Chain A
Amino acid sequence: MRKFLDKIKPNFEEGKKLHFLQSSFDAVETLLFVPNITTKKGSHVRDGIDLKRLLIVVVIAAVPSLLFGMFNVGIQHYLSQTEYIGNDWKSIIPIVGFWQIFFYGFLKILPIIIVSYVVGITVEVVFAQIRKHEVSEGVFVTCMLIPLIVPPDIPIWMLVVSLTFALIFGKEVFGGTGMNIVNPALLTRAFLFFAFPAFMSGDKVWITQSQDAISGATPLGSAAAGDISSMPSIMDMLLGFVPGSVGETSFIAIALGMLIMIFTGVISLRILLSVFAGGYLMALVFNLWGANELMLIPAHVHLIMGGFAFGAVFMATDPVTATQTASGKIFYGFLIGMLGIMIRIFNPAYPEGMMLAILFMNIMAPLIDHVVVGRNIKRRLKRLKIKTN
């Protein structure tokens, strides 16, 4: 393999015929082999970690949510069939069979994964070619997260349109990975949400339908409709056997990914904890207020409902779009948590407040950083002033 690459490599060099494809060749080559580049200036040794490794950890961390999500898509599908009416997830597994359920979901999700990677990588490679940059690996994570946050029944063309939009206008126009202001995966979903409201609104989209299906609402949807009694048990929500987007339902699967990412140091504990703290406090405040049914949901239940946990773990912690300063991170996370719950409660039309809260705070992050950096500067100037007095 190495020999083959070495053989064709000269074709892509400056002035050669295939030079215009240099970025693509480089992407393939570096994917297969960590390159032989050595340090030229500065420190002579470098850490084994690179961006590829960093991001692959995130992808691995998302795998539990994905696998569980596939299974749950199957479960929810069969539960909605009239012939299985009256069953719950525990009783339906033996009736339909574990693998059949899983494969139903698997086949639903697989096209979404494939399409999002194809679209993502195409956009990335095209832009890398135009800019003559190396192909950046940020797209790995974005495309992994897409299947986890879109409805399993989404028409492929909608996915292609919104993902292309999000990648180009959310990321590439700002300069690609590391330069984007908002999280491209979330932007995809926001685009879907606002561009195709007829398809995305309502809460039935989260269950793959067939002709004679009965409706099933997400826990948040039913709570927003004032129907607290039909809410699933806390245990079901922890495990994730409830309707919802693929990745968000199982708190336990998300927590598994969270532990991987915390242990490897990939995500910021500061952001994570403060998102949960912010959400919890906000929900407590609403508990005290208690003006409607939604406000009465216990604070800890809010944290495992809907997309809160998924957003906190996989979206809010994205280092590029989050704040970059230590104290800024706490502030940023806290506000995401608070806003997420607030939108959820005040505006039942958008029960998925987390998405909007994170996107909003993505935009606010530079402002928070500006304040924190300003404090560092003031500290320094103050020292100077004391000195001169």
Chain B
Amino acid sequence: MSKTYKIKKGLDLKLQGAAEKLVKEYRPKMYALKPLDFIGVVPKVILKEGEKLKAGQQVFYDKKRENIFFSSPVSGVLKEIKRGPKRVIEEVIIEADEQQEYIDFGKEALQDISKEEVTKKLLASGLWAFIRQRPYDVIANPEDAPKAIYIKAFDSAPLAADYDLMLKQEIPFLQKGIDVLKKLTETDIFFNLHKKINQQNMYSELKGVQTNSFDGKHPVSNVSVQMSCLNPLNKGEIVWHIDATDVVAIGRLFEEGYYNHAKIIAFCGSEVKNPRYYRTIHGASIEELIKDELKQDNVRVISGDILTGTKINKKGFLSAYQNQLTIIPEGDHYSFLGWILPGFKKFSVSRTYLAWMFPKKKHKLHTNLNGGERPFVMTGIYEKVIPMDIMPMQLCKAVLAEDIELMENLGIYEVVPEDFALAEVICPSKTDMQHIIANGLEFLRKEMS
């Protein structure tokens, strides 16, 4: 085990409704692929509504990069292609069969196949879509040579799923997946663990990865933070990153020959009656899961954590890249003179409300904005929750001004929106910083291509 990197800045939000470490099975009838989960992808659906398909069968591809496919997690019938405003494809809904049929991708010994064949198999199975790159946080380009690959094996976000629990049974597949990644590149594969969140000895047998230990508060699990400690990203360089649970799916593909994207998710949040873990499949419908589990009806359902997750409706589906389903109360109510009262119960990182008297309290946070949007006023507070050598406010302003050179100089390639989530939470001016950074990255992506 190598050295421990201690992250001093950051913030852990203490919330009610952590998932109990108990895994139940959850196999709903409906599944969906959501093209909007994949940044920058313009989907072209291959199949028609009503067509039968197998697990692992390609459903749509990216019009901009036609070798990137997205595959069905289950076998069944393509029920509906759901479009939103401007005919954007929001969901491709699949109704699962009782008996699952898989496309056979074949089993070859890894040492017998070339890098090209590995890449081809990953692309064909749709699993390539789970390898993402920095900068831009988009799906990686198979032709690139990354300078490193990061595997995310812990999550420090509020109420985050426990990776140890998710990976416990999967260590052989995880190893296989790492071997596959090793085929793709000569560079280091970082498998970073948290000193307190992970049980490190669980992973001591893993080969082919460089394991580093991190310590500190959220956002320590963000790849950008780990990158800034280990090997900062410079302009023109590319780094790949992938979630450990998706590495398991890759391992399974090469071990068994099937695309089987089963995963464990945390079902948590203050409005859940029995927060616990569920073993399910990527893209599962949440309708039946939450049916009898909500404490009240006026809730927000978030696929992911409260900082970076996607808002979905009560009949929605789990998003790609997420291992968590969080449910918190909606905050669409007025609070009389809320800004001037002592505020014993208000949640605030600053000590302007008297709630600082109860530092250990676990909060039940709702979605109220708690104020109106204003120009930037406060300075120096954002830096406290962003551990990298980044000037958050200056970078946001550079993005708003669409000043490409300044954005690059201030290190926009080193960050993704999730890194600004905490700054966004504490901002008294209620600036949508994640949105600003996402816009900036999109702007650059378009300008540079």
Contacts and interface: CB of A to CB of B under 8 A. Distances in A.
Interface string B302-321: 10001111010000000000
A376 B339 CA distance: 37
Contact of B376 (A33, A54, A178, A322): A178
Interface in B270-320: 300, 302, 306-309, 311
Interface string B326-370: 001011111111111001001111111101000000000111111
A98 B180 CA distance: 84
Contacts of B155: none
B369 A39 contact: yes
B371 A50 contact: yes
A324 B376 CA distance: 11
B369 A324 contact: no
A384 B234 contact: yes
A7 interface: no
Contact of A380 (B372, B376, B411): B411
Contact of A33 (B337, B417, B422): B337
A53 B428 contact: yes
Contacts of B330: 38
Interface in A27-45: 30, 32-45
B375 interface: yes
B350 A265 contact: yes
Interface in B379-399: 379-381, 383, 389, 391, 393-394
Interface residues of A, number: 60
Given A50-B370, A50-B428, A44 B347 contact: no
A42 B433 contact: yes
Contacts of A270: 380
B300 A44 contact: yes
B334 A136 contact: no
B421 interface: yes
A324 B409 contact: no
Contact of B339 (A34, A136, A268, A380): A34
Nearest to B435: A41
B235 interface: yes
A179 B372 contact: no
Contact of B347 (A34, A47, A319, A387): A47
Interface of B is mostly: loop
A43 B428 contact: no
A43 B421 contact: yes
Q: Report the contact-size class of chain B (Cβ under 8 Å from the partner).
A: 35 or more
A179 B429 CA distance: 13
Given A36-B368, A324-B379, A376-B391, A47 B427 contact: yes
Contacts of B46: none
A53 B352 contact: yes
A285 interface: no
A44 B428 contact: no
Contact of B432 (A42, A57, A324, A383): A42
Contacts of B409: 377, 380-381
Contact of B343 (A48, A54, A266): A48
Contacts of A56: 339-340
A326 B234 CA distance: 24
Interface of A: 1-2, 30, 32-54, 56-57, 134, 136, 138, 175-179, 263-266, 268, 270, 319-320, 322-326, 329, 369, 373, 376-377, 379-381, 383-384, 387
13 contacts: A35-B372, A37-B368, A39-B367, A42-B434, A45-B365, A49-B348, A51-B374, A54-B352, A326-B380, A377-B410, A379-B389, A381-B409, A383-B232
Closest A-B pairs by Cβ, 7 of them: A50-B371, A178-B375, A34-B338, A48-B346, A42-B434, A33-B334, A48-B348
Interface of B: 13, 232, 234-235, 237, 300, 302, 306-309, 311, 328, 330-340, 343, 346-353, 355, 365-381, 383, 389, 391, 393-394, 409-411, 417, 421-422, 424-430, 432-435
Given A37-B332, A48-B353, A57-B352, 4 more contacts: A1-B336, A43-B306, A48-B347, A177-B375
